[in-house]
Structure 1
Amino acid sequence: MSLTAFLADQAPQITAIRRDLHAHPELCFEEVRTADLVAATLTGWGIPVHRGLGTTGVVGILHGRDGGTNGKAIGLRADMDALPMQEFNTFSHASQHAGKMHACGHDGHTAMLLAAAQYLAAHRDSLDGTVYLIFQPAEEGGGGAREMVKDGLFTQFPMQAVFGMHNWPGMREGTMAVGPGPAMASSNEFKIVVRGKGGHAAMPHMVLDPVPVAAQIITALQTIVSRNVKPIEAGVVSVTMVHAGEATNVVPDSVELQGTVRTFTLEVLDLIERRMEEVVRGTCAAHGVQCTFEFVRNYPPTINTAPEADFARRVMAQVVGEANALPQEPSMGAEDFAFMLLEKPGAYCFIANGDGDHRAMGHGGGPCTLHNPSYDFNDALIPRGAAFWVLLAQQWLEQPTR
């Protein structure tokens, strides 16, 4: 049976798994049921599994015709966790857990990799090496990729390259995309507290008002990207939270600002962090108030290595056609697959989720975009994404050893 026919024949079974995962979402590092299902499914297909990396991670070990002796190996990664948000959809596979939802398609990512695993388990002789099936927890803010690496992912399972894939709403269904260099931005957050001296709002000369100081800081932070970062570089500084005051006639003692910074390079990130602290401390000193400045680096930028990105694009062209294998425009969103790409060559790829026409009756009425309460993964992608994984693994392992 051909690859296409096999995946089409098994699509209903894998779709049922995907919808079961969607109905039972689990948050970062809590993916116990999900990991149990993944491990049991792989074991049922004769694929040994290793559990516990990154707390709830699962790694399937699929040796090819060499029996794992030639040292050639590739890693394929899917994420498993959901988001802490309420689903608006009411179709039969909607979330059964209040405040938890698969609003980013990790259920679909898991399903696509399972579909590929099922085919490869039945066609081991098509592999000249080993495929490590990496089912990762806690992508949504928990840094599950970092934790799996810390727990020995690449030492216990040596591989020459690692690849990941994300669905992308708004891209025309039937297309895929990848590109060399930055695919996703770094994710960082900051907290600034401006401390003055509160008092009666009718007596401003008796207080040290932190509110206008905070307002000047917000405005000044926007000049960092426009006046310090090279125009050909990319950076985002967004103040997204402002907390101050309890009454209209009271000047507060303090103002708290929080927000996010996104960049594609660590050099630009270093510049922005340094200039932010200078702006904050200088502005506060000029007005005679105190401040604290905290800057937390969460996820580094996701940088695809050029040879692996080009290899992935050639495989995409076999799946969706040359005209539909597109260059991916970098996104200012972040992805903890970046931690794996810091350790190994590889590429982060994208598969089009369409514009939402796939959603069944009972969807929430909102747009089918990532992190939206009306989102749902497009199950038509499962055979297509699985075919990409299968061909990528087969052809990567057929290459001469580097």
Structure 2
Amino acid sequence: MALSNPALFVTLILCVVVFASIEAAKEKKKSTKIVQTSSASAPSAGWFGGSQASPGDDAIRTSCEEVEDFVVNVRRELHRFPELMYKETKTSAYIQSKLKELDVNFSPGWAVNTKTDRITGPGGTGIVATIGTGTSPVVLLRADIDALPIHEEVESDIKSQTDGQMHACGHDGHTAMLLGAAKVLKVLEASGKIKGTVKLMFQPAEEGGAGGKRMVEEGVLEDEPKVDMAFGIHLWPALPSGTVGGKPGVVLAACDRFEIMISGVGGHAAMPHLVVDPIVAQSALVSSLQTIVSRKLSPLESGVVSVTKIEGGSAFNVIPGAVTLWGTVRSLSTESLQKLIKSVEDISTGIAQTHGCNATVRWSPDYYPPTMNDDDLWFGLGEKVASKVAANGEVTPTNPTMGAEDFGFIAQSVPSNFYLLGQSSEKMKTDWNLHHPKFTMDETVLKRGVELHVRSALEGLAMLAKNKKSEF
């Protein structure tokens, strides 16, 4: 009957067309949403969730990219003139000159060496700078400034000008990144966007001198306004450039170092029956120390005992009166570290006595605690900041490492996060391990370090203002 009525037939056709158009529009809209949320180029989620990026997000990244040349130049200048722990006089003066150029307030003279009987150098080369209101809340950003007693084997126009000294652990990059963050934060301060205070801690003597502990003892965390949370970064050759690694809990190990002197009675090598040979005793000791981890720690605990240096004797035909061993013990907890320390002492004494010798064991003035990422701070801020900065848009989970860091002294005092900034490039050979004479930096990642600092500071202050520290 519809076919015999042309008007009705036309009406039905129009209804079908309109309905089909509506359904097609719905499908197109749905499809568009799926593409946007799954595309790598789509806007990423905000710091604390939601579909929008934080206000000013693009501006922050742009500001950090704009200081790249400044940061790279600072890093190169520092790399040419490395200085060892507690002797970073020129390095400290250079940092102060840059802070003055940026019109950033600072106080020098931090980290005076109180262990001069064991460690050479006067110290006092640390610097604390402040940006913001000068009132609470307070976020601390930290960088280390000292170099290592290593002869650089990388031929370049920025090679170390001091023979036997080298920035082989990336501290020149760490310092440059923090100065870059200072440059960005100073601009934000002028526009009133820093709601609180950011403390910038330039710390000497990280490489075994516990410069971080000295600064904690001197009040870097407790001086008003008191620090509420802290962040640090380490360049990491084990991760690809552009990635940011980390995890909640233990990131780096607790550490101590030992010096063991085995004393006997020296004499002619042709008459060993007339001497008490410390060489034989130390040989047995080195082997026995390797049983500590396998027999003194639970299989569920992690530990390292390494002998790294042996010194004794002066001629092929003379049995020396004493031999000295140096090395390190490391674990993922202070409790396990104390077990390792006691075992080293017990075994050293026992082995020495068995061979008719005496053993004297000395430890460093300050053992390093493990570096811990506060769980609440990591899940509430650190993980999201790292994901925002990383090129792949996500944090790279990492396993704990037996490397040690005296950022641990800060982390045991205030909630802290420590990021590992990947710097292993496919375009150049930058995967040499830390402390290697061929260690080379991928300078393209430095701007990401600046961004990590800036975002951590701004979001840390925002979190503190919002939560009033109730979550910490």
Return the TM-score normalized by structure 2.
Answer: 0.77
Q: Residue 92 of structure 2 is aligned with which of 11, 22, 35?
A: 35
- Asked whether 1:61 is paired with 2:118, we answer no
Q: Note the residue ranges of structure 2 that are not aligned, 5 or more in a row.
A: 1-57, 112-123
Match of 1:259 among 298, 308, 327: 327
Give 2:170's aligned residue. Answer: 105
- Deviation of the 1:188 alpha carbon: 1.5
Partner-residue secondary structure (3-state), 1:333: strand
Q: In the superposition, relative to structure 1, how do residues 323 and 101 fare at CA in structure 2: closer, same or farther (>3 Å)?
A: same
Superposed CA offset, 1:278-319 (max 9, x none): 222223333433332223353222222212233211111111
CA distance in 2, matches of 1:204, 1:34: 52
Q: Is 1:130 aligned to residue 194 of structure 2?
A: no
Cα deviation, residue 45, structure 1: 2.7
CA distance in structure 1 between the partners assigned to 2:315 and 2:89 by the alignment: 46
Q: 2:446 aligns with which of 382, 386, 390?
A: 382
Correspondence 1:153 to 2:215: no
Which residue number corresponds to residue 168 of structure 1?
236
Q: Deviations over 1:7-64 (max 9, x none)?
A: 223322222222112122222223333323322323333321111111111222111x
Relative distance call for 1:24 and 1:220 in structure 2 (3 A) is closer
Residue 176 of structure 1 and its aligned partner are, at CA, apart by 0.5
1:301 matches 2:370: yes
What's the offset of the Cα at 1:233? 0.9
Deviations 1:124-164 (A, max 9, x none): 23322111111112212222111211222112251101111
Paired residue secondary structure (2:159)? coil
Aligned counterpart, 2:388: 318
Task: Find the aligned partners of 1:209 and 1:31 in 2 and give their Cα distance.
Answer: 42
1:210 maps to which residue?
A: 278
- Distance in 2 separating the partners of 1:356 and 1:87: 22
Cα distance change on mapping 1:215 and 1:390 into 2, 3 Å: same
Alpha-carbon spacing, 1:316–1:198, altered in 2? closer, same or farther (3 Å): same
Give the equivalent residue in structure 2 for 1:362: none
Contact 2:231 2:453 (C-alpha < 8 Å) held by counterparts:
no
- The answer for the alignment partner of 1:120 in structure 2 is 185
Higher alpha-carbon deviation: 329-338 or 25-34: 25-34
Aligned to 2:151: 86
Alignment of 1:75 onto 2:144: no
8 Å contact from structure 2 (residues 371, 411) kept in 1: yes
Residue 353 and residue 205 in structure 1: after superposition, are their counterparts in 2 closer, same or farther (change >3 A)?
same
Q: Select which of 61, 66, 69 maps to 1:4.
A: 61
Unaligned runs of at least 5 residues, structure 1: 360-365
Match of 1:236 among 304, 307, 313: 304
Number of the residue aligned with 2:408:
338
Cα gap change, 1:215/1:96 in structure 2, threshold over 3 Å: closer, same or farther?
closer
> Do the aligned residues in 1 keep the contact of 2:229 with 2:460 (CA within 8 Å)?
no
Q: 2:46 maps to which residue?
A: none
Distance between the aligned counterparts of 1:62 and 1:303, measured in 2?
Answer: 26
Greater length-normalized contact order (CA 8 Å, ≥ 6 residues apart): 1
State the distance in 2 between where 1:305 and 1:217 align. Answer: 39
| Structure 1 CA distance for aligned equivalents of residues 80 and 325 of structure 2 | 37
Shift in Å, 1:238: 1.3
Counterpart AA for 1:345 = P
SS in 2 for 1:97: coil
Identity %: 36
Residue 356 of structure 1 deviates from its aligned partner by: 7.0
Q: 1:85 to 1:128 in 2, by over 3 A?
A: same
Aligned: 1:277 with 2:345: yes
RMSD of the TM alignment (CA)? 2.3
> Relative to structure 1, is the Cα distance of residues 201 and 121 closer, same or farther in structure 2, using a 3 angstrom cutoff?
closer
Cα distance in 1 between the residues matched to 2:341 and 2:306 = 13
Conserved 8 A contact 2:198-2:457: yes
Distance in 2 between residues matched to 1:48 and 1:215, nearest whole Å: 55
Cα shift at 1:267: 1.1
Cross-structure match for 2:255: 187
Amino acid at match of 2:222: T
- Retained in 2: the 8 A contact 1:113–1:389? yes
Deviation at 1:201, TM superposition (A): 4.0
In structure 2, C-alpha distance between the alignment counterparts of 1:212 and 1:218, rounded to whole Å: 10
Q: Is the 8 A contact 1:355 1:368 kept in 2?
A: no
Match of 2:13 in 1: none
Equivalent-residue separation in structure 2 for 1:198 and 1:34 (angstroms): 46
Q: 1:369 aligns with which of 406, 418, 433?
A: 433
* SS class of match (2:404): coil
- Picking from 265, 273, 288, the partner of 1:197 is 265
Tell me the distance in 1 between the aligned counterparts of 2:67 and 2:181.
Answer: 10
Task: Check whether the contact 1:61–1:130 (CA below 8 A) recurs between aligned residues.
Answer: yes
Alpha-carbon distance between aligned partners in 2 of 1:32 and 1:185, rounded to the nearest angstrom: 29
The aligned counterpart of 2:103 is 46
> Residues 373-399 of structure 1: CA distance to partner in whole angstroms, max 9, x if unpaired?
222322211221111211111111112
The Cα of 1:75 is off from its aligned counterpart by 0.2
Counterpart among 12, 15, 18 of residue 72 in structure 2: 15
Determine helix, strand or coil for the equivalent of 1:126: coil
TM-score norm. by structure 1 comes to 0.90
Mark the CA change 1:309 to 1:249 in structure 2 (over 3 Å): closer, same or farther.
same
> Looking at CA atoms only, which structure, 1 or 2, has the larger radius of gyration?
2
